[in-house]
A and B are shown apart, each in its own frame.
Chain A
Amino acid sequence: MELLNDINLYLPATVIAIAGLVVMMLSAFRASHSTVLWTSVSFTAVALARAVADLGTETQLVFHDMAAVGGMAAFGTVIILLGTIFTLLLSKDYFEKVGEYHSEVYAIILFATVGMIVLATATNLVTVFLGLETMSIALYVLAGVNKTDKRSIEAALKYFLLGAFSTGFFLYGIALLYGAAGSTSLEAIGAVTDKGLFYWAGAALLLTGFFFKISAVPFHMWTPDVYQGSPTPITGYMATAAKTAGFFSLIFILSRALGTSVDQWSEVIKVIAVLTMVFGNIIALVQTNVKRMLAYSSIAHAGYVLVGLAAGTEAGYTAVQFYLFAYTIMNIGAFGVIAYYERYKGLDLTELDNFAGLGFKQPMMAVMLSIFLFSLVGIPPLLGFAGKYLVFAAAVQANLISLAVIGVLTSAAAAYYYLRVMVYMYMRDAHTEFELPAVGLTYSLVIGFLAVLTVALGVMPWTVADLLAAF
């Protein structure tokens, strides 16, 4: 009975896991692509509704303290499921018109989602490891799903080799922490008083594994290649939902397992945060491919999130959660518009140079892309501004003023490469005359909805922020 009760409490992940199996069987019996898509979407919507209902509840542990539900864990689940549902809806048109369309894509996306939810809610290193690997292995497949496209499969190989390499460090960290604490539970590791070599080496290796997955400098080498080569909606999914899961797990580990040594770790995180913000933004300045530019921008955004983590306070962790929510909404939108442009085959519309005059081809899509990019810059009153404001305010409260100043300066520099896209779209003349294909109803509704969220929640950020402060 306890098991059934736990399954009920952990319903979002359970529903998605069942959905993955159902959808896989549907593809095996050659159900039509739209049946598979809409089955996935409805299961995800059910899981999302349940996760939203969990939002206000107290945090409690399920499955013999293996995972958490309610509170912060519920919010992480909501962000991941939002990212998933938009990715599913955007994938159909992309794979139909740009890449190879196998309906198994949906099953793999759902399996990756299960991994992400487990990772974001795990309170034991065993579940952290399983969640991380379920997510990563599914993402290796998704990166290379256009298997005759040389760039896609190259992205998959690079992601796989470096991901598996980082898994080695991650697992070694788990093993050493297990040796130090005699248990893999985060609480037991947090209770270690005799901190010897095993403890410090284990925690360092574990954090290295995490820095790989959230693509913090200097462990970011794989990110630009993988994000550029992967199918665009999948890139959006990796940049948002996967990163959200990694950061939520990092918050759990820093606050529960490494709480007693958080002073030491926040020194490390400060250095990594500065490196990530500076390198991510500077290299993004010189990119000529929009997808690759967004990949470097995603590295830079990981830097801003790390600023909130370095604060190590309750306000810092809340700000991080808000930031990840904001980032998920605006970034999936931005990648969604790029995915739409790729439908035009005559030109490579991921190259910035070809964006010349694009603003007048499909005016609505260009306006949406502008909204998302303005939000990524952090211009008020959009969602990105509220996220940045909360993170930097938390840093200032925690007396990390220099870190906040570096963050603000680098995000001012970042305005250059985001606005350059708009300069090309609106202020340059097109090289050749061409017509962009029609957008499609579902696609424009999804992108429009994301843009509305970006604006509306940017104007009223307290609707989400109050919810977070209540945990």
Chain B
Amino acid sequence: MLSLTWFLALSAILFAIGTIGVLTRKNAIVIFMSVELMLNAVNLTLVAFSSFMGDIHGQILVFFSLCVAAAEAAVGLAIVIAIFRNNLTVDITKIKLLRW
């Protein structure tokens, strides 16, 4: 069986890819997808710990985090639609009314 380190390394790499995606992309939906990647990388960490420690609580937390991600997606996509209706773009570099 694979050791715990492999799972943790994979999820750390996925988390890093997600973070880089958030920081470099300009399309609001792609940024949101990168955030989802980060959350799912964390879920992988939780499941790996949970399974290797033989403790069920980590997996239950994953259920909660999936629910939260779903709620966040519903609200987030609605906000993106509202932004598109107002500005006809979802490019975050072009949405800049508020700045000093």
Which residues of chain A have a CB within 8 Å of any CB of chain B?
Answer: 125-126, 129-130, 133, 137, 140-141, 144, 147-148, 150-151, 153-158, 160-161, 164-165, 167-168, 171-172, 174-176, 178-179, 182-184, 224-225, 228-229, 283, 286-287, 292
Distance between Cα atoms of A155 and B96 in the complex (Å):
10
Closest 9 CB pairs of A and B: A168-B38, A225-B98, A179-B49, A175-B45, A133-B68, A164-B35, A171-B42, A175-B46, A172-B42
A161 & B98 in contact (Cβ 8 Å cutoff): no
Name the CB-closest residue of A to B96.
A154
Point out the residues of chain B lying under 8 angstroms from A184, CB to CB: 57-58, 61
Name the CB-closest residue of A to B80.
A157
A174 & B82 in contact (Cβ 8 Å cutoff): no
Point out the residues of chain B lying under 8 angstroms from A140, CB to CB: 75-76, 79
A160 & B79 in contact (Cβ 8 Å cutoff): yes
Distance between Cα atoms of A460 and B32 in the complex (Å):
49
Point out the residues of chain A lying under 8 angstroms from B79, CB to CB: 140, 144, 153, 156-157, 160
B53 interfacial contact with A, CB 8 Å: yes
A147 & B49 in contact (Cβ 8 Å cutoff): no
* A162 CB to nearest B CB, Å: 9
Point out the residues of chain B lying under 8 angstroms from A228, CB to CB: 98
A-B contacts, 19 of them at CB < 8 A, read A125-B61, A126-B57, A130-B64, A140-B76, A141-B75, A150-B86, A153-B83, A154-B83, A154-B97, A157-B83, A161-B22, A164-B72, A167-B35, A168-B15, A168-B42, A171-B65, A175-B45, A175-B49, A175-B58
Tell whether A129 pairs with B80 under 8 Å between CB atoms, given A161-B28, A168-B18, A168-B42: no
Point out the residues of chain B lying under 8 angstroms from A144, CB to CB: 79, 82
A126 & B99 in contact (Cβ 8 Å cutoff): no
Residues 66-80 of B, flagged 1 when their CB comes within 8 A of A and 0 if not, give 001001100110011
Point out the residues of chain B lying under 8 angstroms from A225, CB to CB: 98-99
Distance between Cα atoms of A446 and B52 in the complex (Å):
56
Point out the residues of chain B lying under 8 angstroms from A164, CB to CB: 32, 35, 72, 76
Name the CB-closest residue of A to B71.
A137
Which residues of chain B have a CB within 8 Å of any CB of chain A?
Answer: 8, 15, 18-19, 22, 28, 31-32, 35, 38-39, 41-42, 45-46, 49, 53, 55, 57-58, 60-61, 64-65, 68, 71-72, 75-76, 79-80, 82-83, 86-87, 92, 95, 97-100
B42 & A175 in contact (Cβ 8 Å cutoff): yes
A interface, over-half SS:
helix
Distance between Cα atoms of A164 and B19 in the complex (Å):
11
Name the CB-closest residue of A to B37.
A168
Contact of B39 among A148, A155, A167, A179 (CB under 8 A): A167
Distance between Cα atoms of A137 and B79 in the complex (Å):
11
Distance between Cα atoms of A229 and B75 in the complex (Å):
18
Point out the residues of chain B lying under 8 angstroms from A179, CB to CB: 8, 45, 49, 53
Contact of A129 among B8, B57, B64 (CB under 8 A): B64
* B27 CB to nearest A CB, Å: 11
Distance between Cα atoms of A287 and B98 in the complex (Å):
13
A157 & B45 in contact (Cβ 8 Å cutoff): no
Q: Assuming A126-B60, A168-B19, A224-B100, what are 9 further A-B pairs, CB within 8 angstroms? A: A126-B57, A129-B64, A137-B72, A147-B82, A164-B76, A175-B42, A178-B49, A184-B57, A224-B98
Point out the residues of chain B lying under 8 angstroms from A178, CB to CB: 46, 49, 57-58, 61
Distance between Cα atoms of A148 and B38 in the complex (Å):
31
